[in-house]
Structures are given as structure tokens and as C-alpha cells.
Amino acid sequence: MTNQDYCIGVDFGTDSVRSIIVNAHNGDEVASSSFIYPRWNDGLYCNASQNQFRQHPLDYIEGIVHTIKECLRQGGTFVATNIRAISIATTGSTPIAVNDKGIPLALLPEFESDADAMFILWKDHTAVKEASEINAHANKHNPDYTLYSGGIYSSEWFWSKLLHILRKNELVRNAAYTWVEHCDWMPFLLTGGKKATEIKRSVCAAGHKGLWAEEHGGFPPDHFFSTLDPLLTGYSATLGKEVYTSDKAAGRLNGEWAERLGLSTDVLVGIGAIDAHMGAVGGQIEPYYLSKVIGTSTCDMLVAPKKDIKETVVKGICGQVDGSIIPGMIGMEAGQSAFGDAYAWFRNLLSWPLQHLVSGSAGIDAANSKIIPENISQQLLAELEKYAAALEFNDQSELSVDWFNGRRTPDANQLLKGAITGINLGSNAPSIYRSIVEATCFGSKSISNRFKAEGIAIKGLIGVGGIAKKSPFVMQTLANVMNMPIRVHQSEQTCALGAVMFAATVAGIYSNVNEAMNAIGKGFDKTYHPDDRLAHLYDLRYEKYERLGKYLETTI
């Protein structure tokens, strides 16, 4: 190794994929590129009214080719010849059905337009019924295989989605050999895997989304699934017995992919992981610091030494898994199903007249009828934040609940709905927006409170992701509501940067990911401190938020 070793980090997000090249010794980013998924952007295979969100594997394939080649073009020949490893973060749980060769069914001609043969995105909630059945079945079983998944299995996760599609689509059911998470399929693809049995499953996805637990001997046995529904018979066995932490290699780039990307077959490919887990590493997570990866949704990540956790099992979160974030430590995940998505919904609501009426307005030509709504829509949230930040409010002001896409944690329930209350004739767009922002922050507080109630200390907060970097109003509100300082990491690409840290560890540049974090991490560029004058008011409003939430739960 030299001081000119480079690694590639790839982050497959909800709307786009981002790749970066980083000097693995000093953390300098030498290239970056992003690619918006074209089919997803066109709304294909999705139906928001049914909570159906699917993505075509070609979006991912085209995206990784485009971004890595563009990064290599920016970096030049010297950088390209000194790439040591690639690691990949993806959304999750985002599984897909594959045949016995490990080929996603959507890549076969007969399934190329079948939404059920696509990757089922994390935010897809079509499997609510199946999740409920899994929970009822597990709760009657000894051991309860949902124990290390927070005690409640979610419709956002692997087995719920698998069962839903098996029941719904006979063609997919008959063609599927097994199912694989997006973060596990990408390394399999790049290393030239030819058999589905060769797929290396990450402990991250398996433990947090797939009911895998070391304490239970791995994945639940076949009889657990076959007695739930005979359609699940045999699937547990196809997942294999081993799972891997992300500091391990899945293999090397195979010849086809090395040529396609312009890299060497010496380049190692790391075991993948879910984006927020790698994002927490990229954001330099510390034990007992809640790392909030804030975007369309949030994932709240926490690590703790195994010796501290002992027999503690936190209820109502998205699992606790040894090595899922940092190998050698217990990784815990919580989160909110909608954070930025709630703001985007309100923006789209306000933009509706612009999108539908401007084109028919007198004096506006065809070109401007498209440009004007787009420009206003892009500026809308920033303007709302400016006015909302200046508003005075009290305990009687507009109040919202943030379950616009159901509740992820604490205590997953995707049937729950959001609410906006306290509206009067004086309410306006900034005041309602302020209440929605406040509600997402209250949702964060409820997660923190659950950890504390279960005996897990919260020593501090770390903010990473797009909203953490771009929205001072949201972050200041979050600090006020949580009544704790929030450090914001300087990197705008913490998920991709975390992937780089794992890639550098896979390549042997560092002996463990903690060393990689310390060497590559760039630290924090801003801290939001709570306004003590508002603490009592937010406590009162949080109590009302909790009462309103309990009422909503009774109206399902």
C-alpha cells in the first residue's frame, strides 16, 4: 500500500445513486457523481395511493456504471490504476426475487414490466397484512423470532414483502428460487456470481430486516415459515447459514465488470450494508451517540459495547445486531417512515394549483408554463422555512403528528396516519409547515425516549444527511425539541463515505473500521444548541403530541 491508495464508495439512495472516490489515507474526495434513476423518476411500477414503490434493477445497473465511470474520468488515469476496493450502501429493506442463477426476475424478458418482479423499495407498504400475520405467528412461537427485531416485524421488511408477492403473483412465485436484498445483490453482481447459492448475505440486512439472530442460530427454521404459510416452505434454506460483516470482502471485480467500469480485476468488492448503517460510520458514530441519518425518512443508529448490553433487548425498534454497524459492537436501529417526505408532501400540496392552472393562464407561453411552476416549487420549502422560523407559537398553536407514511418506531405500525390539528382561520402555510417540522422532531424525541426507557443512555446526537446539512430551521427545531446539542457532520455524502471507510478496511489499508473512521473522517462543521427558553413550551407540546397520537391509534 502507498499513500496514494483510493477507494470507491457507492450509495444507492431512494431517488438516485451517488459514487465518490476518496484518498484512503487522508480522506480527500477526488471525484463524485450522481445519477437519477430514470424509470423511478418517470413513476414506473409505482402506485402511491396503494403504497406501492418498486424500482427496476436496470436503474441500479445504469447508475453504478454511469457514476463510477464519471468519477474515474474526473480522477484520471493515476487514480483509476490505484483503486483498491469498492463498497456499496443501499436502501433497505429492498429485496427482489431471483432465479437459481441469482438473476433478478425483472431482468428476464417475461418479467421486464412486472412490478412484482422489481426491487420492492423500503417505503413500499403493500405487505401490512403479511407483517401482521408474521407478528401473530411469532408471538405464539417459542422462541419468538421477532425478539431481536424489536418485537414487532414491519411491512417494510424482507419476509413481509416476500410473502406478499408469493401470494399475489403466481408467475413470480413459480420463477423465484430465492430473494435477495439490494445491498447483497450488488456485490454478487460485481464479482460475477453465477449461482444464487453463492450470494453472501450481510449481517446488517439479515439481522435488522430478515429475522436473522445469532442467539437463535441464524434465520428461523423452515417449520416456522411453513406453518405460517406453506408458500414460504424452503425459502429459509436458500438464504444460507453464514452472514458477513461489511469489513469482509465479497470477492474481486470479475472480468466483465472490470472492463465495463474501467478498473482492474484486482479491485476488491466489500460486503454491502444498508445505507443508514454505513452512513452512521461515515458520520463518525460514537458509542451511545444517536446518529440520525436524515433524508426522506430517518434512520437513528446507535452502537454500544457488547459487555454493556448483556441481556438487554430494546423493544419497539428496528433491531439490535452484533456487528451490523461497527464489527464487534451491538448496532441498534430505529427511525421514522417519513421525515423529508412529510415536507415534500406539503410542498406538493401547495404546488398543485401551479402545476395544473398555470398552463391555462392567459399571457403565459408554453415554455414558461412549465418553468414557472418548477422554479416556484423548488423555492417553496426554503421560503416556508424562513417565515416559519419567525413565527411566534404557544401551546395552543397548530399541532401535527408525523405518521404520514405510518410509524416505523417506536412500535412499528404502518396503518397509522398523520394528522394536523388546531387549524383556525388564522392558520397559514408557514404555521402549518412549522407544525409538521415540529411533529417530525417530536417523532425523533419519542425514539430517544424509548431507548432511555429501555436502559440505553443517549449521550449526544449526530446529524447526517441532506436535511441535516441544508435546513438550519429543521435542525434548530430538532435541537430545541430534543433539548440536546446536535453535531452535524461536514460530509454531504456520509453513506458513500462510510462505504469508502469499509472499502479501505476490506483492502487492508486499515485493520478495522474504527481506524478507517479516524483517518478518513473529516469531523463536524456545525453544532446546533437548544434554546433553553423554549424547553418548557416544547415539553407541553410534546405531551399534547403524545395524547393526539394515542387517540389516532384508536381510530385505525
Nearest alpha carbon to residue 291 among 470, 458, 452: 458
Strand (E) or helix (H) holding 18: strand 16-23
Residue 324 inside a domain? The answer is no
Confidence grade of residue 308 (pLDDT, cut at 50, 70, 90):
very high
Whether the pLDDT of residue 513 is over 60: the answer is yes
> Domain check: are 364 and 239 in the same one?
no
Residues 6+ apart with CB under 8 A from 174: none
| CA distances (Å), origin 215, targets 54, 219, 313 | 33, 10, 12
Q: What CATH number does residue 482 fall under?
A: 3.30.420.40
Residues 6+ apart with CB under 8 A from 223: none
> Domain check: are 12 and 121 in the same one?
yes
| CA distances (Å), origin 72, targets 40, 65, 187, 289 | 26, 11, 19, 35
> Domain check: are 375 and 246 in the same one?
no
| Distance separating alpha carbons of residues 154 and 407, to the nearest angstrom | 10
* Total domains present in the chain: 2
> Domain check: are 468 and 348 in the same one?
yes
One DSSP character per residue, 254-319 reads -HHHHHHHT--TT-EEE--EEHHHHHHHHTT--TTEEEEEESSSEEEEEEEEHHHHTT---TTSS-
> Domain check: are 399 and 269 in the same one?
no
Given its phi and psi angles, is residue 236 left (phi above 0), alpha (psi -120 to 50 degrees) or beta? alpha
What is the reported pLDDT for 469?
A: 93
What is the reported pLDDT for 359?
A: 73
Cβ atoms of 336 and 440 closer than 8 Å: yes
Residue 176 inside a domain? The answer is yes
Cβ atoms of 282 and 516 closer than 8 Å: no
**Cell numbers standing for residue 55:** 424500482
Q: Per-residue pLDDT averaged across 96-121, rounded?
A: 98
Which pLDDT tens digit goes with each residue over 460-506? 999 998 899 999 999 999 999 999 999 999 998 999 999 999 999 99
Residue 480 inside a domain? The answer is yes
Nearest alpha carbon to residue 333 among 286, 284, 299, 304: 299
Whether the pLDDT of residue 314 is over 60: the answer is yes
Whether the pLDDT of residue 361 is over 80: the answer is no
| Distance separating alpha carbons of residues 438 and 388, to the nearest angstrom | 11
Phi, psi (degrees; rounded to nearest 5) at 333: -130, 140
> Domain check: are 96 and 235 in the same one?
yes
What is the reported pLDDT for 240?
A: 94
> Domain check: are 461 and 512 in the same one?
no
Strand (E) or helix (H) holding 85: strand 83-90
Torsion of CA 385, 390, 393, 399, to 10 degrees: -10
> Domain check: are 235 and 135 in the same one?
yes
Which pLDDT tens digit goes with each residue over 168-183? 999 999 999 999 999 9
Confidence grade of residue 371 (pLDDT, cut at 50, 70, 90):
confident
> Domain check: are 398 and 503 in the same one?
no
Whether the pLDDT of residue 1 is over 60: the answer is no
In this prediction, what percent of the chain has a pLDDT beyond 90?
A: 92
Residue 375 inside a domain? The answer is yes
Average pLDDT of the chain to the nearest whole number: 95
The position carrying cell 471525484 is 31
Residues 6+ apart with CB under 8 A from 308: none
Residue type, 337: S
**Within 13 Å and on the Cβ side, how many CA atoms surround 470?**
10
Instruction: Encode 462-513 in three state secondary structure.
Output: EEECHHHHHCHHHHHHHHHHHCCCEEEECCCCHHHHHHHHHHHHHCCCCCCH
Residue 50 inside a domain? The answer is yes
> Domain check: are 466 and 423 in the same one?
yes
Residue 357 inside a domain? The answer is yes
Which pLDDT tens digit goes with each residue over 240-298? 999 999 999 999 999 999 999 999 999 999 999 999 999 999 999 999 999 999 988 99
Q: How far is CA 263 from the centre of its chain?
A: 28
Residue 325 inside a domain? The answer is no
What is the reported pLDDT for 356?
A: 81
The domain of 383 spans 340-490+525-553
Nearest alpha carbon to residue 201 among 191, 187, 214: 187
Q: What share of the chain is helix, strand, coil (3-state, %, to 5)?
A: 45, 20, 35
> Domain check: are 234 and 344 in the same one?
no
Residue 272 inside a domain? The answer is yes
Which pLDDT tens digit goes with each residue over 3-49? 789 999 999 999 999 999 999 999 999 999 999 999 999 999 999 88
> Domain check: are 129 and 251 in the same one?
yes
Confidence grade of residue 360 (pLDDT, cut at 50, 70, 90):
low
Cβ atoms of 297 and 404 closer than 8 Å: no
For residue 251, give the 3-state DSSP assignment: strand
